[in-house]
C-alpha cells in the first residue's frame, strides 16, 4: 500500500475512532478525493444554477417563484424516489412515466366518471401502480427478461392503456377539492412553523437516541458537537425555506391571500423519511444494496434476490402512482399526455443527477430530491429567461450526461482506490 493511501486511510479510521466535526470533515474530504462524491455534484450544480438564474432574472428569487419550484418539481421528484429502488439493483424502469399516467387516469375515472370519494380514487390508483410493479418485477426476476425490454414494452403498452381510460383522447376534469388541494393549496403559516419545529425536534431526538444506543453497546458514537452542528444546519435551511414560503405571494392580498408551505412539501418530506428509513434501517434495505452490489454473492448469502427485485419494482410503480396523483392534482385534469412527454426522462435524470448510480448498489432517496430540485430549477429558470423547449431539452440533456459522466469517473477512481 502506498504512503498516500495509508494517509487517507488514517484520516477515515481516525474519524471512526474519534468522531468530531474536524475529523468527520477530513474523512469526507478523503472520500471525495477517492471517488465517493455522493450528492456533492448535485449540490454544487444546484448552487451554480440558482446563482446564474438569480443574476440573469431577479424574479427567480421571489417568494412566489420559490413556491412554484416545489409544485413544479413535486411529481418528477416522487417518481424519481421510486426509480432509485430499481436503479439500486442496476435495473431500469422505462415505463415509470406512463405508469403514473395510467394511475392518474384510474384516479380520474374513479372520481369523475364513477363519482366515488377521493380516498377510493387514491387507493385505486396506488393499487394499480402496485399491481403494475408486481407484473414488471415478476417478468424481470422470475422469467429473466431484461428490465430494459420489459419496461420498454410496458412504455408502449401503457400509452395505449391511457388512451383507453380517457376514451381515446378526452380530457377528464378533476373537481374533488381534496385532490386539487394536494398541489394547489398551502398550509396555514402557523401549521407550517409547527411542522418545522416538530421535524427539527424529531431529527435531534433521533440523532441523540442513536448516539446513546451506540455508546451503550460499546460502539463509536457521534459527539454532541457533531449532532448539534447537523441539527443547526437542518434548522437553518428548513427555517429559511418556511420563512420564505410563509411570505405573502399574492399580487392582491386584499382579494385573495397566498402564503404558506405548499401541501405537497410535507408529503414529499414524509415519503423521504419513510423510504430513507426503509433503505437504511431495515433488512430489506440492506438486502437491496447487497443485490445491487453483487446479485450472485447475495444469492449465495441466502438473500431472496427474486423477491427483492419484485419488491423494488412494486415500490417504483407505487411511487409513480403517487406522482401521477400529484400531476393530476396540479393540472386538475387527466389527458392522453399525462405521464408522457419528458416525465420519464426528467425522473430518471433527477435520480442520476442527484447521485444514484446507473450501475447499481449506490444511491439514496435524498438523491432523487436533490436531482428533482436541479431539474425544477433548470425548467423554471429557462422559462423565466423565455427560452423555448429546445433549449430546455439541450441543457437538461447536457446536465444528465455530465452527471452520468461524473458517476462513471467516480466509480473508476473509487475502484482504483480500493473502495469498490
Q: What percent of the chain has pLDDT over 90?
A: 47
Task: Write down the pLDDT at residue 286.
Answer: 93
pLDDT of residue 4: 46
Weakest-pLDDT range from 7-11, 204-208, 366-370, 406-410: 7-11
70-84, 219-233, 342-356, 369-383 — which one is most confidently predicted on average?
70-84
Q: Residue 5 pLDDT more than 60?
A: no
For 386-398, write each residue's pLDDT tens digit.
887 777 778 777 7
Q: CA 308 → CA 313, 314, 335, distances in Å?
A: 9, 10, 34
Give me the domains of the chain, ranges plus CATH numbers.
63-185+283-412 (1.10.3470)
For residue 414, is pLDDT > 50? yes
Say how far apart CA 54 and CA 203 lie, in whole Å: 31
Q: How far is residue 208's CA from residue 212's CA, in Å, rounded to a whole number?
A: 6
In angstroms, how far is the first alpha carbon of the chain from the final one? 16
Model confidence over 39-55: pLDDT tens digits?
788 888 888 889 988 89
pLDDT at 3 over 50: no
Which residues does residue 262 pair with via DSSP β-bridges, in sequence order? 186
pLDDT for the residue 2:
46
Predicted pLDDT at 1: 43
Q: Which of 401, 414, 404, 395 is CA-nearest to residue 48?
A: 395
pLDDT at 294 (0 to 100) = 86
pLDDT at 298 over 80: yes
Q: Is the pLDDT at 7 greater than 60, yes or no?
A: no
Is the alpha carbon torsion for 241, 245, 247, 250 positive or negative?
Answer: positive
Q: Please state the rounded mean pLDDT for residues 216-244.
A: 88
**Between 241 and 418, residue with greater pLDDT:** 241
Highest mean pLDDT: which range of 121-135, 159-173, 285-299: 121-135
Looking at residue 13, what is its pLDDT? 58
Q: Does 38 have pLDDT greater than 80?
A: no
Q: Which residues contact 286 (CB under 8 A, 6 or more apart)?
A: none
pLDDT at 30 exceeding the cut of 80: no
Cα–Cα distance for residue pair 77/85, rounded to 1 Å: 13
**278 — phi, psi (to 5°)?**
-60, -45
Per-residue b or e along 84-122, where b marks 16 or more CB atoms closer than 10 Å to that residue's CB:
bbbbbbbbbbbbbbbbbbbbbbbbbbbbbeeebebeebb
pLDDT at 285 over 90: yes
In the numeric block, the cell 427539527 is attached to 200
Distance CA 330, CA 17 (A): 50
Tell me what the mean pLDDT of segment 289-299 comes to. Answer: 89
Instruction: Give me the chain's average pLDDT, please.
Output: 86
pLDDT reading at 36 higher than 80: no
- Decide if pLDDT at 61 tops 90: no
| Between 80 and 293, residue with greater pLDDT | 80
- Residue 50 C-alpha cell reads as 440558482
- Per-residue model confidence (pLDDT) at position 18: 61
pLDDT attached to residue 17:
59
Q: What is the pLDDT of residue 16?
A: 57
Mean pLDDT is lowest, of 123-137, 193-207, 316-330, 358-372, for 358-372
Any alpha helices (H) in 166-282, and if so which ranges?
Answer: 177-184, 189-216, 224-245, 264-281
Is 0.85 topped by the overall pTM?
yes
Task: List Cβ neighbours of 395 (8 Å cut-off, separation of 6 or more).
Answer: 378, 382
Q: What angle do CA 4, 7, 9 make, to 5 degrees?
A: 110
Q: Is 133 exposed, middle or buried (0-12, 13-18, 19+ CB in 10 A)?
A: buried
Amino acid at each position: 500500500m502506498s504512503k498516500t493511501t495509508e494517509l487517507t486511510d488514517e484520516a477515515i479510521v481516525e474519524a471512526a475512532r474519534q468522531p468530531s466535526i474536524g475529523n468527520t470533515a477530513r474523512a469526507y474530504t478523503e472520500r471525495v478525493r477517492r471517488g465517493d462524491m455522493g450528492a456533492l455534484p448535485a449540490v454544487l450544480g444546484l448552487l451554480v444554477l440558482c446563482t446564474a438564474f438569480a443574476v440573469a432574472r431577479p424574479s427567480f428569487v421571489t417568494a412566489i417563484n420559490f413556491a412554484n419550484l416545489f409544485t413544479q418539481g413535486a411529481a418528477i421528484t416522487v417518481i424519481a424516489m421510486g426509480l432509485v429502488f430499481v436503479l439500486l439493483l442496476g435495473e431500469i424502469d422505462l415505463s415509470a412515466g406512463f405508469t403514473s399516467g395510467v394511475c392518474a387516469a384510474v384516479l380520474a375515472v374513479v372520481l369523475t366518471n364513477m363519482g366515488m370519494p377521493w380516498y377510493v380514487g387514491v387507493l385505486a390508483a396506488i393499487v394499480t401502480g402496485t399491481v403494475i410493479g408486481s407484473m414488471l418485477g415478476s417478468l424481470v426476476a422470475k422469467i429473466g427478461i431484461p428490465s430494459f425490454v420489459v419496461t420498454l414494452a410496458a412504455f408502449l403498452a401503457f400509452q395505449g392503456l391511457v388512451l383507453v381510460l380517457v376514451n381515446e383522447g378526452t380530457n377528464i376534469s378533476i373537481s374533488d377539492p381534496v385532490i386539487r388541494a394536494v398541489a394547489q393549496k398551502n398550509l396555514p403559516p402557523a401549521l407550517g412553523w409547527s411542522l418545522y419545529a416538530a421535524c427539527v425536534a424529531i431529527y435531534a431526538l433521533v440523532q441523540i437516541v442513536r448516539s446513546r444506543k451506540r455508546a451503550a453497546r460499546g460502539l463509536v458514537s457521534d459527539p454532541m458537537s457533531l449532532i448539534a452542528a447537523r441539527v443547526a444546519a437542518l434548522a437553518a435551511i428548513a427555517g429559511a425555506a418556511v420563512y420564505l414560503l410563509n411570505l405573502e405571494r399574492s399580487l392582491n392580498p386584499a382579494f385573495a391571500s397566498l402564503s404558506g408551505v405548499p401541501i405537497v412539501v410535507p408529503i414529499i418530506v414524509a415519503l423521504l423519511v419513510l423510504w430513507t428509513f426503509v433503505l437504511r434501517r431495515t433488512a430489506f434495505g440492506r438486502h437491496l444494496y447487497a443485490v445491487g452490489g453483487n446479485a450472485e454473492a447475495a444469492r449465495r448469502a441466502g438473500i431472496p434476490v427474486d423477491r427483492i427485485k419484485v419488491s423494488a419494482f412494486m415500490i417504483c410503480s407505487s411511487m409513480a402512482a403517487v406522482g401521477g396523483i400529484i400531476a393530476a392534482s396540479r393540472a386538475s385534469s387527466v389527458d392522453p399526455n399525462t405521464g408522457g412527454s419528458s416525465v420519464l426522462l426528467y425522473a430518471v435524470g433527477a435520480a442520476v443527477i442527484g447521485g444514484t448510480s446507473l450501475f447499481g448498489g449506490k444511491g439514496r432517496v435524498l438523491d432523487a430530491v436533490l436531482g428533482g430540485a436541479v431539474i425544477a430549477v433548470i425548467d423554471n429558470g429557462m422559462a423565466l429567461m423565455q427560452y423555448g423547449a429546445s433549449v430546455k431539452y439541450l441543457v437538461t440533456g447536457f446536465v444528465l450526461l455530465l452527471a452520468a459522466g461524473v458517476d462513471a469517473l467516480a466509480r473508476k477512481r473509487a475502484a482504483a482506490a480500493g473502495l469498490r
